Amino acid sequence: MTAAPQEAPLKITPLNQLHIELGARMVPFAGYDMPLQYSTGILKEHLHVRAAVGLFDVSHMGQFELRARSGRLEEAARSLESVVPADLIGLKPGRQRYALLTNNQGGIRDDLMVANLGERLAIVANAACKDTDEAYLRETLPERCELVRHEGRALLALQGPLAVEVLAALAPAVTGMRFMDACAMSIAGADCIVSRSGYTGEDGFEIGIPASDALNIARKLLAHPQVAMIGLGARDSLRLEAGLCLYGSDLDSITTPVEAALEWSIQPSRRIGGARCGGFPGDGLILQQLQNGAPRRRVGLRPEGRAPIRHGTRLFRTAESDEEIGVVTSGVFGPSVNAPVAMAYVATSALGGASTIYAELRGMRIAVSVTPLPFVPTKYKR
């Protein structure tokens, strides 16, 4: 007999000590030991972010920089455009853009945030995808580009209506930033990259920090009486109420941007008739779907009753029909709306004017309403 292979030990973030100190319930996530929740629980953490401000440790995410060896940023942007359908050449300095890394079948390898920092592009990738993203980009991008992976950095997210007040006490310049602005600045003596963005639907910031400074800055932020540490559980319910996708649940390698209702991330310059139409993996199918629609579509759902419908729940046209028309990809009880909410992919043919479909829950069919996203209005600083 051979010994069973041992699982790799979980990685830890620079704030692991703080999570333990604060009594977090730690769980494995994307190869890291991460806080699911703290003593107050997911419900109260969620509502605290909506009312005040929450601090999230998202240091498991991948942080990269892309430069052109010539020093010309347009070369780096043009190269990255060869693997994403976003307009990056037109991305102005100090601005950030959501971009999808696509494959040859039109599916989504990962979703990224890309910021123009003047002489370089800063890229944030999902934790579960960052290794494969790096390998793919190194193999695909031309040699005239240099990709740097920042292992020695933490990433914090400060989210909620009081986020700007809290961060401005340490970095007054953030008051002038608007949604999707991004820049390098000093915070408590540390060289940071700050974007006015996040994953909750609230106003807020994401802050890239040298790992050696992360604990100090986190403690300074937590010293404000309105700031609470928030775990992965509330992060998930917050993003779902805001209609935001989670890679691996709502997005994957067989789902196209049009199916995912993310066509807004493909700017006119990359579409048919645009200055740089296509030229990215899967462009044939994606451009065709932009013109003619997709066979299925990501939609919001509001189930009857109080029970959430979870990932994998099957959907049907009627209470009696055996015709399966879709599947739930994310579902939780939404604390802000005091009701269950979900996102699903549903056949376009079943959405023609239908406002009610049916989910199979514990062997029964329950009615669910097809609902516009997001479930909670976003509060970004425009």
Residue 327 belongs to domain with CATH number: 2.40.30.110
Residue 210 belongs to domain with CATH number: 3.30.1360.120
Task: Give the global pTM.
Answer: 0.96
Indicate whether 159 and 233 sit together in one domain: yes
Indicate whether 177 and 305 sit together in one domain: no
For the stretch 191-200, pLDDT in tens is 999 999 999 9
Confidence band, pLDDT 50/70/90 cuts, at residue 1: very low
Residue 4 forms part of a structural domain: no
Res 354: pLDDT: 67
The range of the structural domain enclosing residue 159 comes to: 16-60+152-241
**Dist. CA 374–CA 100, nearest whole Å:** 20
How many domains are there within the chain? 2
Indicate whether 55 and 203 sit together in one domain: yes
Residue 283 forms part of a structural domain: no
Res 272: pLDDT: 98
Indicate whether 228 and 339 sit together in one domain: no
Residue 325 forms part of a structural domain: yes
Residue 28 forms part of a structural domain: yes
For the stretch 230-257, pLDDT in tens is 999 999 999 999 999 999 999 999 999 9
Residue 108 forms part of a structural domain: no
Q: Which of 241, 257, 275 is the last residue of a domain?
A: 241
Indicate whether 34 and 171 sit together in one domain: yes
Q: Which of 173, 208, 241 is the last residue of a domain?
A: 241
Indicate whether 173 and 24 sit together in one domain: yes
Indicate whether 313 and 187 sit together in one domain: no
Indicate whether 156 and 236 sit together in one domain: yes
Q: Which of 241, 262, 284 is the last residue of a domain?
A: 241
Res 5: pLDDT: 53
What rounded mean pLDDT belongs to the chain? 96
**CA distance from start to end of the chain:** 62
